[in-house]
Amino acid sequence: MQKLEVQRTDDGSATLFVPELDEHYHSVKGAYTEALHIYRDCAYLHAAESIGERPLRLLEIGFGTGLNAAVTAMAATTERPVHYITLEKYPVEPELIASLDYEHIVDATLLTAIHAAPWEEPTAITPHFTLEKRCCDLLASPLPDAIDIVYFDAFAPEKQPEMWSAEIFARIYQAMRPAGVLTTYCAKGAIRRLLQATGFSVERLAGPIGGKREILRATKGE
Ligand SMILES: C[S@@+](CC[C@H](N)C(=O)[O-])C[C@H]1O[C@@H](n2cnc3c(N)ncnc32)[C@H](O)[C@@H]1O
């Protein structure tokens, strides 16, 4: 993986910057705010409300710093247990993870357990949150099935267009259960149309406070 730098975002939380790509791991307007709003609230909590008590199967594209996983683990309860499968091609070095200081904004014990969990092995982080970290390339790996929720958190389409292709979205759609939801920070018209062409119903939702104006939520029909 390329060299990474720690940078501070507008809500005070840190993110990683990839100089070679000129790209950040999170919104520069607020990494923590983005994780809470786009992924935890608009995808996980939204789906949990309609799906009910059975374990929800969640697929994250890009584990990165583990921030989305940590905020989701903190929200998981008996009423909305989660099996969280996350794909990552370039795991971040533990020293760099430590320098993000996320233990000051999320539960430090959970965060440590999330990073200590072995790759390729489902691990119970809490009684309500099982984590399965897969070190693999989205472009060349089979996807898990029966997915209820997708956190589509790839680098931007201008930086990594191959992650935002019709073929990738079709594979994700196939892997999802009816009524499953996908959210992404990217609200570009071309991506919205691609999701619609795949078969999803797509909503434009308000973005995080202080951040992007809009985000996308795509729902698979019943
Ligand atoms: C925007 S960051 C994800 C941030 C992350 N969700 C978090 O909470 O920190 C995009 C991630 O996708 C990963 N990635 C890039 N290409 C990939 C690929 N082909 N397959 C799987 N992961 C990939 C990157 O290494 C990076 O961690």
**What is the 3-class SS of the chain, one letter each residue?**
CCCCEEEECCCCCEEEEECCCCEECCCCCCHHHHHHHHHHHHHHHHHHHHHCCCCEEEEEECCCCCHHHHHHHHHCCCCCCEEEEEEECCCCCHHHHHCCCHHHCCCHHHHHHHHHCCECCCEEEECCEEEEEEECCHHHCCCCCCEEEEEECCCCCCCCHHHHCHHHHHHHHHHEEEEEEEEECCCCHHHHHHHHHHCCEEEEEECCCCCCCEEEEEECCC
Map tokens 């202080």 to a residue: 210
CA angle centred on 209, ends 168 and 63, rounded to 5°: 35
The closest residue, in CA terms, to atom 12 on ligand 1 is: 62
CB 17 less than 6 A from any atom of ligand 1:
no
The amino acid at residue 203 is E
pTM of the model: 0.98
What confidence tens digit (pLDDT) does each residue in 52-93 have? 778 999 999 999 999 999 999 999 999 999 999 999 999 999
Report d(CA 4, CA 20) in Å as an integer.
9
Residue 4 Cβ inside 6 Å of ligand 1? The answer reads no
User: Is residue 11 within 8 Å of residue 33, measured between CB atoms?
Assistant: yes
Spacing, Cα 47 to ligand 1 middle (Å) = 23
- Structural domains in the chain, CATH included, are 30-219 (3.40.50.150)
- Output the pLDDT for position 44: 98
- pLDDT digit string, tens, across residues 127-175: 999 999 999 999 999 999 999 999 999 999 999 999 999 999 999 999 9
Q: Which two tokens stand for residue 34?
A: 């983005």
90 CA → ligand 1 middle, Å:
7
Confidence of residue 1 (pLDDT cuts 50, 70, 90): low
Share the mean pLDDT of the chain: 96
Dump pLDDT digits (tens) for 169-195: 999 999 999 999 999 999 999 999 999
